[in-house]
Amino acid sequence: MQELFWPRLGALCGLLYVVLLFGFTSIGSEAHFVIIVELIGMLLFLPFLGYLYSILRQAEGEAGWLSVTAFGAGLVDLTIKLGSIAPSFAAQQPGLSPQLHDALHKMNSVAFIVTMLPLGVMMAAIAVVALKTRVLPIWLGILAALTAPACLVNGMFLDAEFGPAFLLFLLWVTLASIVLTLRAGRTGAKATPRRQDAEGHSSQEIGTPAS
């Protein structure tokens, strides 16, 4: 059971991230409480990102760089999000002038739109690995491929107050989290990378039985 618990926990963190990041905001909870819940959700994105990286890296092989790109882009997105918490929290303090309140709110909005750029890179890298190796269902790879350009375009409109492409990203994370949770413990057996031996023939990694 322990062999399945940790992979499933890492995969499930993606769904928890979406619920905590989006759920309480949508029902209009008290602002300070929403920020705390969002922080917890952002922290839960880390184990999901780590688990997703392990799945992509195993499928791509040690020489691959796209899985690392996806992981790095996810970290950049999370860093910008965490940084935007400060102006968002400061804007809620009483006694601020309207000009300062608007400036802090604008900083938070621009930071949110900018996160679309690393998310677009992340989705593009995931799409290539998923469609190339089939480590994820093909429809998840296609959805990632559609989400990538949407995020990149959305991220160019710094004056926008709303990021519709982010909803596509949350949808992808939700579906990927569910799929990976159900497949945890079985994905590695399906995605063992092959390597070339000295004569150029394809051989499986040591310790993996031949099919």
**Stretch 115-129: mean pLDDT, rounded?**
98
- pLDDT(62) > 50: yes
**Least confident span in 1-10, 24-33, 52-61, 178-187:** 24-33
What's the pLDDT at 26?
53
Cα–Cα distance, 26 to 34 (Å, whole number): 10
Amino acid code (one letter) for 8: R
pLDDT of 28 reads 52
Q: Which tens digits make up the pLDDT trace of 23-38?
A: 666 555 567 788 888 8
The pLDDT tens digits of the residues spanning 169-195 come to 999 999 999 999 998 866 443 444 444
Give yes or no for residue 74 having a pLDDT over 80. Answer: yes
pTM above 0.95, yes or no: no
Contact (Cβ atoms closer than 8 angstroms) between residue 174 and residue 184: no
Taking all residues of the chain, what is their mean pLDDT, rounded to a whole number?
85
CA dihedral 9, 14, 18, 20 (to 10 degrees): 30
